[in-house]
Amino acid sequence: MHEGAIAENIVDILKETKEAENIDKIVKVRLKIGIMSGVMVDALLFALTALKEEERIIKDTEFDVTEINVKSHCVLCNKDFYFKKGDDIMLLCNKCGMPLDIIEGKEMEIIDIEAEQ
């Protein structure tokens, strides 16, 4: 994944929000990023910091990232599996061999935007 492009997307979303809600200043943005999303958090924060030079809208914005661990589910066994960063993430159920459904851990979302009007 290209964190620079993701950072630009985030800035675009913030610009749209600013327009739509008549916001003066964006103080804080909370993001959640799944550990299986393919996004490197450090690289993303670096890219956002670099964008602060040219994008006035995020000049004083603090970015707060919550990393989301993986929750997966086997429909056959009706069992949940949990993995955190650094774990060897199973894609198949260790009981029946069915591919696991990834329920959490692939997302990359803005949770909320704290703004001054």
Which one of the spans 8-16, 35-43, 89-97, 105-113 is the region binding Zn ion (CB under 5 A)? 89-97
* Alpha-carbon gap, residue 16 to 8, rounded angstroms: 12
48 contact partners, CB below 8 Å, separation of at least 6: 7, 10, 11, 58, 63
Of 50, 76, 92, 103, the residue at the interface with Zn ion (CB under 5 A) is 76
| x/- track of binding to Zn ion for residues 95-114 (CB under 5 A) | xx-x----------------
* Alpha-carbon gap, residue 67 to 41, rounded angstroms: 8
Contact positions vs Zn ion (CB under 5 A): 74, 76-77, 93, 95-96, 98
